[in-house]
Amino acid sequence: MDFFIIADPHTYLAFALAGVPGGQAETAEQARRLFQEARESPGIGLILITERLAEGLREEVDALRWEGGRTLVVEIPDLAGPLPREETLLERVRALMGLPK
């Protein structure tokens, strides 16, 4: 299983120095192209994407998660830190699954 990182230039550099392939994006459109590239690549099993970029393509990220299959998407903080959230990840997953909080 191969990894693929989609991140801002600074976060991307940190992962690239560790040997993780991927691309840097500063706009949602750039991130969308990289996300599609990673999705279509048969060897990619884990897509790491910064939270701020994932927010710009929320529908695509959530659709891939619901689709299941061979590719896992994990949102990570960028160098500015995690995004403030009104709900925890567990609460969000429960809501997506239609389960009570």
User: Domains in the chain, please, with CATH?
Assistant: 2-97 (3.40.50.10580)
| Number of alpha helices (DSSP H) and beta strands (DSSP E) in the chain | 5, 4
The conformation of residue 6, written as its DSSP 8-state character, comes to E
pTM score over 0.85: no
When pLDDT is cut at 50, 70 and 90, the band that residue 97 belongs to is: confident
Percent of the chain whose pLDDT exceeds 90: 64
Check pLDDT > 90 for residue 30. yes
pLDDT at residue number 53? 96
Neighbours of 100 (CB within 10 A): 5
Q: How far apart are CA 98 and CA 83, in angstroms?
A: 24
Q: What angle do CA 65, 86, 84 make, to 5 degrees?
A: 85
pLDDT per residue over 42-89, tens digit each? 899 999 999 999 999 999 998 888 887 789 999 999 877 777 777 777
